[in-house]
Structure 1
Amino acid sequence: MDSQNAIEVRNMYKQFKVDYDKAHTLKDKLLFWKTSHVEIHEVLKNINMDIKKGETVALIGTNGSGKSTLLKLMTKIIFPNKGTVETNGKLTSLLELGAGFHQDFTGRENIYFNASIFGLTRKEIDERIQDIIDFSELGEFIDHPVRTYSSGMYMRLAFSVAINVDAEILLIDEILAVGDQHFQQKCYRKLKELKESDKTIVIVTHSLDVVKDLCDRAVWIYKGELRLDGDPIYVIDEYLKQVAIDHKEEKKKAIAEGKHKFKAAVFIDAPKDFATIQKDKGTLVSQGWQISDHDQAVFKFFLDGNEICGIKRKNRQDVFEAYQEAYAGDMDPDAIGWQVNLDLNDLDLGNHKIDIQCSEPDGNILADKSIQFTLE
């Protein structure tokens, strides 16, 4: 193994055997020995990659592509059917929520159990236990049994232990997604600190913004194969192109089979609900956005029940980026936004209502939104 590498994967394959109608008793095995059906699922195929010491690498791909399996192979939780996975350095991982925790013991007691699994001595744990507790922000709950913890509290404790064991390699699965926004940001700040201290970090995440901001490299796993490895911005762009292609093919097939349910989302940015508008402003600019996976979706704007024409379309790159996976291939960023200019001189003082709708051509409403405002 090259001394400059933290992780080396060579010609690696991983298969899982799925046994359908498995017999659970000796009687079943004797009576139904011909009925069992076994399938071999090849999850990863001929994976080759090097992760250098000090690199922060993201594994990206759709669900079921093999990302988490690859991470487990790196931790030696499971082993390849062919090929090798080698690591060079002390390793810690965050793969499953609460793994290594005992439900009936307190958070404090579980810190000792969990940290000892990572190789720390009792003295070393004593020296850093307060740092672990402080980072977790669990307060008095640290002395409560972990069975009383929420999923977010589990994550806080697990992450706090993992980053305080002085490991050289840190492997993280999508576990951070369960934390609240404040703690997620705190974790990412800590990961940036670890990155700057030359730790090797491998992270599996669906948050592409995190990949762009945190990682040196992105490795795209597609249907069990390493499709692309390189600069995060380029790899993510190619990944999203493929997601769009796959999404369109799946939708086309589902439509042909009558199984696809069209979807949409609409929003009004201005005016705000129950806002008070001064009539002497002359013009009220109402704007928002609308997306749908229906190619012929119809968008309509109503004021006090009367349809208003003259809708202008606008670029909304922010909405496009937020929904680019969920609506892959179904959005034009230049047509997501909408704007309607209302002449206030034509309106009476008092309450008014704005309704927007996104519907199928036959009139079936996919999404709608209403707000009220008062004209003074």
Structure 2
Amino acid sequence: MDAISINNVTKSFKIFAERTATLKDRIINRRKNKYQKFTALENISLTIQQGQTVGFLGRNGSGKSTLLKLLTGILYPDSGEIEVKGKVSSLLELGAGFHPDFTGKENIFMNAAILGLTKKEIKKKLNEIISFSELKEYIDNPVRNYSSGMYMRLAFSVAIMVEPDVLLIDEVLAVGDAAFQQKCMDQLLKMKAKGTTIVFVSHDLGAMEKLCDRVVWISKGIVRSDGEPKKVIDQYLAHLANEENKRLIDESLVNSRINEQVNESVENEETTRSIDNKDPGRWGNQYVQIDNVYFTDYNHQSKFSFLADEQMIIKIRYKGNKEVENPIFGIAIHTIDHIHCYGTNTFIDYFKINRIKEQEEGTINFKIPTLNLCSGTYLVTAAVHDEHGNQFDFHDKKFSFMITSLTKDVGIVKVPHTWEQNV
């Protein structure tokens, strides 16, 4: 049995480019305000079965919250039909429906009445609501004196204690502290077990995978994917990594053009044998020069953003300005706060390079089959020197890449592991 039915729903908004004209201006000058039409949702069709928990996933501005507001009846679609069966409770905006001058207790009665409870039913559940919210000491104070976290506690407590058939939740649980967030998650799991239909929007991908039976990815007002949580979340993360990669590449190209313009403006500078003394992050005699360091996948596609456990190649482009024997190339990876994660070089790894000739150009590839790193931005140091440690060219933390991960591991590296219990 379907609890929610959405058929070919479209919703758009008018975004005005200037202030609203006065009535006089409209009548005398027949002036109309200029606006752009923004389509928040376009031909959305979904059905959600009774007792199912569904998460709406997507970037800010993709239309997730608009869809929830359509389900609650706060907004109406331009076209299409929406049908929601049963008693609906919603948490869309922090403290929505609360009057700031009323006490917490008075707002419980008012909010629960709006959600369809009689006064007798509210009195029966009052102590339970107050107990869950953990606001007993403040329940007789006006809610204007509440913090945002206290607002959320009270609103969530009312919403779940009215025992709705359908519960709609926007990104409000992020306001609470860690202990209360876990308490809310436990309560949602209990409601799910009882057969409550739950629809919620969240950027907490771990919570979404844990709670949901199904995830719907919405992008730019259309459904991009709909199905098993892990599969859809992985698709979404891959998309985010790809989008971030495009942004970083564009940013890199802009910075590269700026650097070229700066270099062209510098006259009478010996570029092949010396390094700008104003750059404290680079030094060496330039017998071998590192022209660039960049990152690709195993298909040699340039990237800056990777998924955890993905493959990566760090490519070091070099040029020989003087013939050298037995050069050694090195790589080091650091966190954004300069913690040294890992470092090695061709000498340590028994990868021998006999010589680099003058005017020789080439690439050294450092291949990583599995990126066992936690989420974050990482800095890379690249260097080339001789067997005695004399630096030819040293770039200290000059290059960076990003790692995105679904898991909530903390630290730097992802250590392969399993758990077991022996009783």
| Alignment TM-score, normalising by the size of structure 1 | 0.70
The Cα of 1:82 is off from its aligned counterpart by 0.9
User: Is 1:43 paired with 2:40?
Assistant: yes
Provide closer, same or farther for how the CA distance between residues 29 and 258 of structure 1 changes in structure 2, counting only shifts above 3 A.
farther
The Cα of 1:6 is off from its aligned counterpart by 0.4
User: Is 1:70 paired with 2:62?
Assistant: no
Provide closer, same or farther for how the CA distance between residues 35 and 8 of structure 1 changes in structure 2, counting only shifts above 3 A.
closer
Rounded to whole Å, the distance in 2 between the matches of 1:358 and 1:132 is: 57
User: Is 1:82 paired with 2:82?
Assistant: no
User: Is 1:151 paired with 2:148?
Assistant: yes
Rounded to whole Å, the distance in 1 between the matches of 2:77 and 2:249 is: 36
The Cα of 1:252 is off from its aligned counterpart by 2.7
Query: Aligned residue pairs: how many?
Result: 291
Larger C-alpha radius of gyration, 1 or 2? 2
Matches within 5 A, 1:1-376: 4-29=1-26, 36-258=33-255, 299=333, 310=344, 319-320=374-375, 323=376, 359-360=397-398
| Percent identical | 46
The Cα of 1:242 is off from its aligned counterpart by 1.2
Residue identity opposite 2:75 in structure 1: I
Tell me if structure 2 keeps the 8 A contact 1:8–1:86.
yes
Tell me if structure 1 keeps the 8 A contact 2:16–2:36.
yes
Rounded to whole Å, the distance in 2 between the matches of 1:318 and 1:106 is: 49
Rounded to whole Å, the distance in 2 between the matches of 1:247 and 1:72 is: 29
Provide closer, same or farther for how the CA distance between residues 110 and 309 of structure 1 changes in structure 2, counting only shifts above 3 A.
closer
Offset from partner CA, 1:11-44 (integer Å, 9 cap, x none): 1111001111133433554687658321100111
Rounded to whole Å, the distance in 1 between the matches of 2:108 and 2:193 is: 26
Offset from partner CA, 1:318-342 (integer Å, 9 cap, x none): 723xx5xxx6xxx8xxx99xxxxxx
Residue identity opposite 1:191 in structure 2: L
Offset from partner CA, 1:98-136 (integer Å, 9 cap, x none): 001000111011000100000111100000000000000
| Alignment TM-score, normalising by the size of structure 2 | 0.63
The Cα of 1:253 is off from its aligned counterpart by 3.0
Provide closer, same or farther for how the CA distance between residues 208 and 65 of structure 1 changes in structure 2, counting only shifts above 3 A.
same
Rounded to whole Å, the distance in 2 between the matches of 1:104 and 1:224 is: 38
Counterpart in the other structure of 1:268: none
Moved more, 113-122 or 26-35: 26-35
Rounded to whole Å, the distance in 2 between the matches of 1:113 and 1:24 is: 38
Over the aligned positions, Cα root-mean-square deviation in angstroms equals 3.1
Tell me if structure 2 keeps the 8 A contact 1:298–1:360.
no
Offset from partner CA, 1:174-220 (integer Å, 9 cap, x none): 00000000000000000000000000000100011011111100001
Residue identity opposite 1:319 in structure 2: C
Rounded to whole Å, the distance in 1 between the matches of 2:185 and 2:194 is: 14
**Bigger proportion of residues as helix:** 1
Gaps of 5+ in 1: 260-291, 302-307, 337-356, 363-376
Counterpart in the other structure of 1:278: none
Gaps of 5+ in 2: 257-303, 307-313, 316-330, 336-341, 349-367, 381-394, 401-423
Tell me if structure 2 keeps the 8 A contact 1:298–1:361.
no
Provide closer, same or farther for how the CA distance between residues 76 and 358 of structure 1 changes in structure 2, counting only shifts above 3 A.
farther
